């Protein structure tokens, strides 16, 4: 969806930043998403997935909301430690880690790790007296566009035999976890996978293996991009139904990333070049897929945009990023105003997997980040295409 708004109303964005491109982080939006998910999942301990956006202001906001953190590397642990977060509030969920990574994470004081195969389990043997482990299982949500269960996760039918091996190894594997895929359209797979894990915990008890005391339902909670707004209370209803069946003594955890970070940031760009070519007008922005918009390529994402211009004449047009690479294209539109130099384009819901994967390609720096209150587009200010 594209909103067109008068060029002069771009001042509500430009007054917030020093330069373009900039990402504007709003801590109130972040806090609002955190508490909406907490309310939708009563009794579930949330671990924010740092990988989705490691901006220090965002981490601080989660910390102040008494949150926990899901980390994937020593560098992420260090960032949190610098904010004063205790390692006891972190879990290390990367299913495949180098031995050095494990050594560093243990040295920091992290005690929860994840494995999905026996070779990874062997790496943890030296630390078996200080750590606990969750076994990651593979459940794929057919309605999640970003799959995370081909690369990671043991097949559920193998779970019991893996847990038996773990039991003999002396490592305390007392948790189960999964990630059904990012930006899921429904929580049906979360709910089915949680049910499976509850059943598995009963079998574990019958086999007299180390009891399962934690089940981590991962991420995958959706952010609102182009479609209907997401109501987290409604989205999480299938999970809540199963939560009522969780036996006493099993703690439920989740690792939300995108749902917290995406709506918390908007990206403010400027038109820095334009050219009329055979396929229409090309507008070159100062951020592209090598900057904060890699999600277009990696995840097939499209973002809500507001274009601030006084131009009236329309044409087919192409938006592109600032690098020399032809893959750095942001969208083709059959009819949009012919933008002027320095017109402003704002992309909304730009906090997830944007800054986190931005590069320095062509020597072009990623967007600056500022913490401000996000302006609202007043009703009637613009026109939607």
Ligand X SMILES: Cc1ncc(COP(=O)(O)O)c(C=O)c1O
State the catalytic residues: 324
Interface of this chain with ligand X, residues 52 to 71, rule: CB under 6 A: 52, 70
> Of 218, 263, 295, 322, which one interacts with ligand X (CB under 6 A)?
218
Alpha helices (runs of H) in the chain, residue ranges in sequence order: 11-14, 27-40, 56-64, 74-82, 99-108, 118-123, 159-169, 188-206, 232-235, 237-243, 258-261, 295-298
Instruction: Report in angstroms the alpha-carbon separations of 124 from 47, 364, 371.
Output: 22, 40, 40
- Chain Cα centroid distance, residue 5: 29
Q: Is 182 in the site for ligand X (CB under 6 A)?
A: yes
How long is the chain?
385
Minimum distance between the CB of residue 260 and ligand X, rounded to whole angstroms?
8
Residue 86 burial (C-beta neighbours within 10 Å; 0-12, 13-18, 19+): exposed
> Of 22, 53, 61, 93, which one interacts with ligand X (CB under 6 A)?
93
Q: Is 235 in the site for ligand X (CB under 6 A)?
A: no
Q: Is 49 in the site for ligand X (CB under 6 A)?
A: yes
Q: Is 349 in the site for ligand X (CB under 6 A)?
A: no
Query: What residue is closest to ligand X based on CB?
Result: 219
For ligand X, the closer CB: 23 or 91: 91
For ligand X, the closer CB: 37 or 345: 37
What single-letter DSSP state applies at residue 21? Answer: S
Stretch that binds ligand X, among 53-61, 168-176, 254-262, 318-326 (CB under 6 A): 254-262
Residue 18 burial (C-beta neighbours within 10 Å; 0-12, 13-18, 19+): exposed
> Of 255, 287, 328, 343, which one interacts with ligand X (CB under 6 A)?
255
> Of 221, 235, 308, 347, which one interacts with ligand X (CB under 6 A)?
221
R_g over Cα of the chain: 23
Q: Are 73 and 65 contacting, i.e. CB atoms less than 8 angstroms apart?
A: no
Stretch that binds ligand X, among 14-22, 44-52, 239-247, 318-326 (CB under 6 A): 44-52
For ligand X, the closer CB: 52 or 138: 52
- Give the binding site for ligand X (CB under 6 A): 49, 51-52, 70, 93, 148, 179, 182, 218-221, 255-259
């Amino acid at each position: 969806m594209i909103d067109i708004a008068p060029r002069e109303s771009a001042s509500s964005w430009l007054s917030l930043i020093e330069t373009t491109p900039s990402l504007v982080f709003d801590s109130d939006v972040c806090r609002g998403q955190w508490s909406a998910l907490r309310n939708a999942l009563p009794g579930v301990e949330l671990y924010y997935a740092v990988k989705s956006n490691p901006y220090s202001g965002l981490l601080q906001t989660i910390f102040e909301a008494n949150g926990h953190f899901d980390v994937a590397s020593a560098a992420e642990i260090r960032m949190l430690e610098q904010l004063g977060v205790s390692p006891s509030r972190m879990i290390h969920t990367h299913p495949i880690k180098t031995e050095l990574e494990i050594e560093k994470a243990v040295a920091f004081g992290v005690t929860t790790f994840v494995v999905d195969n026996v070779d990874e389990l062997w790496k943890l043997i030296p630390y078996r007296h200080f750590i606990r482990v969750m076994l990651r299982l593979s459940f794929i949500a057919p309605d999640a566009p970003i799959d995370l269960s081909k690369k990671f996760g043991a097949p559920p039918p193998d779970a019991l035999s893996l847990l038996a091996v773990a039991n003999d190894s002396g490592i305390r594997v007392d948790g189960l976890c999964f990630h059904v895929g990012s930006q899921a359209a429904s929580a049906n797979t979360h709910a089915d996978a949680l049910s499976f894990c509850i059943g598995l915990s009963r079998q574990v008890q019958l086999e007299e293996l180390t009891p399962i005391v934690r089940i981590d339902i991962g991420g995958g909670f959706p952010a609102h991009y182009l479609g209907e707004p997401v109501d987290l209370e409604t989205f999480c209803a299938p999970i809540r139904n199963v939560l009522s069946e969780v036996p006493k003594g099993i703690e439920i955890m989740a690792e939300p990333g995108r749902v917290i970070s995406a709506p918390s940031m908007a990206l403010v760009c400027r038109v820095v070049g334009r050219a009329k070519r055979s396929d229409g007008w090309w507008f070159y922005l100062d951020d592209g897929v090598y900057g904060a918009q890699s999600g277009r390529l990696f995840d097939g994402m499209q973002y809500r945009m507001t274009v601030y211009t006084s131009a009236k004449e329309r044409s087919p047009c192409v938006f592109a990023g600032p690098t020399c690479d032809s893959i750095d294209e942001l969208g083709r539109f059959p009819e949009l105003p012919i933008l002027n130099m320095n017109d402003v384009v704002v992309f909304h819901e730009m906090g997830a997997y944007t800054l986190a994967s931005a590069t320095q390609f062509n020597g072009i720096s990623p967007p600056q980040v500022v913490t401000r209150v996000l302006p609202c587009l007043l009703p009637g200010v613009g026109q939607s295409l």
